[in-house]
Structure 1
Amino acid sequence: MLAFLDSWRLPRKLLAAFTIIGLLLGFVAYDDYSSTNTMSAIAKDQSEKGFAGMSELTDMISNVKELRILVYSFYNVASAKEEVSLNQRLEKASDGLNTALRNFKALGLTELDGDVQTLEQRITALIDVNEEIYAKRTSGDLPGTMALLKGDGRVRSHATIQQTNLLIKKMRKNSDKIAADAAAKAGFALKFTIALGAIGIAVIIGIWLMIDRSVTRPLGRITAVTTTLAEGGKADVPYRERKDEIGEIAGALDHFRAAAEARSEADARAAAEQRVVTTSLRDSLSAMTEGDLSRSITTEFPSAYGELKTNFNAALGSLRELIGAVAESAVAIRTGSGEIAQASEDLARRTESNAASLEETSAAITQMDDRLRATAAAAGRTVQRADGAMAVVDSGRSVADEAVQAMGRVSESAKGIDSVIEGLDKIAFQTRVLAMNAAVEAGRAGDAGRGFAVVADLVSALAMRSEEEAKRAREQLTATQTDIGTAVEAVQKVDGALQNISADVSQVHTLLSEIATDNQAQSSTITQISAAIGTMDQATQQNAAMVEETSAAARNLSSEVTALADRASMFSIGDTPGRTSAPAARTAPVSFAPSAASSPKPLSARATADDWLDF
């Protein structure tokens, strides 16, 4: 059923697969977009109308209650200024109520038009009765004002609040209905999304099966055929009839198979030529292993290996000449190495004697250096102890200064407390005066002012008690200030004593510093001398070791030259023209022992280990 896909190229297959997936994703995106817009519209309508409407209705109830409070307050007004203020507050509250009503009507809730009109009529009636109450109170008709307050004023206020609460209930029911509709739409959108997801999974599985059938499995078979051909086996290449990339790969693999077979035949011919070459080389190399350097290659090589034959024969001739020259030179080197070995042994014995003397001198100076270092370290620790004592004294002085400053701050705070107590005295005095005035006014009022007279007596008693407590606080504060002054003087005396101790410790510190500096200078000088002698000792020891190594190397050289001559004699090089006879043996090695008349010369002060190495 899907055989037509074998003629489609891979880009076309991928384009078809991604187009199907893209269309599926488009449907899913459209569904999400539509659901999101619907829910956003519901939420926006709820926010702009529901929440705003509830807020305006709540403001209306608050304004109605405030109007009720204002009319009662106006009934009890006591001055013209207060009357003007209540009139202004009444107008402001009425305007706020009308403004909240206009804002609610502007929301456009057509389903509540009847209830809104009823609420508007009741608000108008409430404002009218409030104005009538204000008019009666302004004219001085107190009984009529009270009757109107408890009659129509109360009825219309309650009616307005009742109608507002009715609107709030209806808006809540409307919000619940909108929420239910939104939940239903959200459930449908979720089910539709799940269905689209299932369809998408099925489509993706189908696309995967299509790619597996037309691409993956053919590539697997071609991979198996390629592995077989790479391992040298034979296999037929499938899918050569296809028109897509799989067919092109199969065609290229078939060409590779044919080329591999042709190359195998060429390798067989080359192997036959290589057998001839390797056989000749094996025979010549076997003769070289046995020490015969006269076996050159005489077999005819193929033209491709002719240069190899020429180079091998030339290298064999050069090796014969080299072995002959080595045999001649080995005899001459043997004599010279014996002489060098004898001289090196004499020099090694003299160098070891000098190294022992320098080592003893270095050990003595090292002991002097250690004792001076110990003395300098003890002086340094003494200086550190003096530094610690000075730090402790300085810390004590700083603590004493902080204590003086803290007591000064306490003294200033006490002055501030004194001013506060003085203020309390003034307040108590004014309170007593106020109580006396209240008692006088209560006396004028007669029986109606008895309660005020009792309160005035209590306030007067409280004022007298406040004056007594303020007096006691001032006395305690004066005693505290005296104690603080005494403590400040004591701390200042302690600070003076610490200052004298600090000066004495500073002088001791100066003397100890000078002693430590002198000890350190002496230790530094001895250290430099010890380092110089140590360097000389190390250089002498190195020289002794090098002379011994040179002597050993000369002896090894002699033995190695003897072994080299023996091995060179094992090779058979035939009659080589131009060879010379071995040189005659030299005389016995000359001894390098110093004569009795010679005396050792002093070393130069600038001689270093590098000079001995050059030697």
Structure 2
Amino acid sequence: MQDALNNWRLPRKMLVAFALIAVFVVALGAAGLIANRHLSKIADEHVTSGIASVDALSDVRGYVREYRILMYSHVTSVSAAEMASLDDRIAKNKEKIDAALGKFAAAAGEEFTADVANIRAVLTRLEQVNARVVAFSRQDKDAEALALLKADGKEASHAAIDATRAVMDKTVALANARGEDGNKFSDNALIFMSVMVFFSLGALAIIWNLLNKTVSRPMAELTSVTTALAEGRQANVPHRDRSDELGEIAKAVELFRLAAVARAEADRKLAEEQKLVTATLGEGLAALAEGDLTAEVTAEFPAPVASLKTNFNDAIARLREMIGAVSVSAAGIRTGSQEIAQASEDLARRTEGNAASLEETSAALAQIDDRLKTSASASAQTVARADEALATVAGGRAVAEEAVQAMERVSHSAKGIDQVIEGVDKIAFQTRVLAMNAAVEAGRAGDAGRGFAVVADLVSALAMRAEEEAKRARDQLTVTQTDIVSAVDAVQRVDNALENISGGVGEVHGLLGQMAEDNQAQSSAISQISVAISTMDQSTQQNAAMVEQTSAAARNLTTEVTSLAEQAALFRVDNGRPQARRSATAPASAPVAKAAPAKPKAAPKRNQAYVSPVKALPVPAMANAAARLNGTNNEDWSDF
């Protein structure tokens, strides 16, 4: 049988093997499908007629209890609106009971038709009792309604609940019986599936054994032979007499073995040629690694790789020319960079001096600006004081005018008093005349007029005293008028003096105002000049920093060029001395104007940090003044 299988083609073997496997798989699948469908049917019946029926009966019981509660609420209702609402709820509850019972009848099937009829009969009796209760409640016969509800209503409600409970118990028992049937069928199906799996595993073991003997093991033997041939070892190719694919593979491997023998001879010759090329190129590359650019390939290469020799020699020649040119260029760049660095240092020193001069100039201008501002402030204060003096003089003139007017009023009053005194004098004279006449008449009267004569003498004496006092008052008034005239003249002279002082103070005020304006203009001009010089100072410092970085860049360039020259000097570009000695003959750096001759020093290291010859510039003295006027320019020097 194994020989017959060896002559079968591999697709036929696979077809037979997979067909047998498919038969067992289909049998197992069919058995599982049948068992699954039967169990699904049992489960569906359990859910449909069991759980759904129990849920429907539970709803019926709940609605019956709610029905009884609604009846109690109807009997105890206190308003027509509440009674109407309860009537509506009772009607809906009946509909729910009918719907739940219909759902149970549909789910339970014909087996429970009698049970459904029994429940409907019990519910009908309950509705009849409840209808009587509702009738009593509508007639306000609450006592009769409660008595009926507690007697017949309670009995009918319990009968309905007991009927639903009995049917529910019957439904649960039927569901349990169906579950037992399903479990038994499941156990039988499991036993059948186990037997089928056992036979399937036995068939798979037989198929695997046949495939291993006819396919896997011969394939492994051919793989071992192929591996040995690939490693260059000799091996005999088996299974060349078979008629299937493995026989064809064995014949192909035999051809491969014969071709490998021929190719091994060709590889040996090729290895000798490659060894020659590799050794020659290795010697050239070793010389190149040591810096010798004069080592060229002189051996004869085989025709297929002859171009490799030409390309190597051309590359060596190009590299030799390039290294020579790099050495010469490095020497020239080093000279130029040294000159740039020296010039940058000189420019940095000169820029530092300019910055110091600008700083001193800025400080001097700041002092002048401060003094001008002080003078302008003093002038402004003097102008203010002059304004106050003008106001004071104007006030004095006003007071003098008032004094003159007061003196004139006093003079007029004195004239009035003089007239009054003159009137008093005339009255005294007339009184004295009358007293004399009275004395004459009293003398004529004799003794009868003696008392009247005494009175006349007294009146005459009083009139004389009045004349004397009037005369004295006139004299005093005359003196007073003279003093008033003198005072008026003095006040007028004071007013004239104050007028002259006011004119002088006004002229001084104008001169001081002009001086203050001139000082302010000079202060503004000096401030602008100070800001400009501060800007120039900052720009000079930025230039110094830029020159310093330029010098540092030139020094770094010199260091890099020196390093490049040292690296280039490691190569030999002719049969004489190395490039390092050739580069030593490069022209020296040209001297820089006004620069001291430099002493010979060692070549700078590549990583040595550059130290600037320019010292750090001080902070400008006018930075604060410029910041107070127009702000400080904080732009980076690279934007200069």
Shorter-chain TM-score range: 0.3 to 0.5
Q: Which has the larger radius of gyration?
A: 2
TM-score, with structure 2 as normaliser: 0.46
TM-score, with structure 1 as normaliser: 0.48
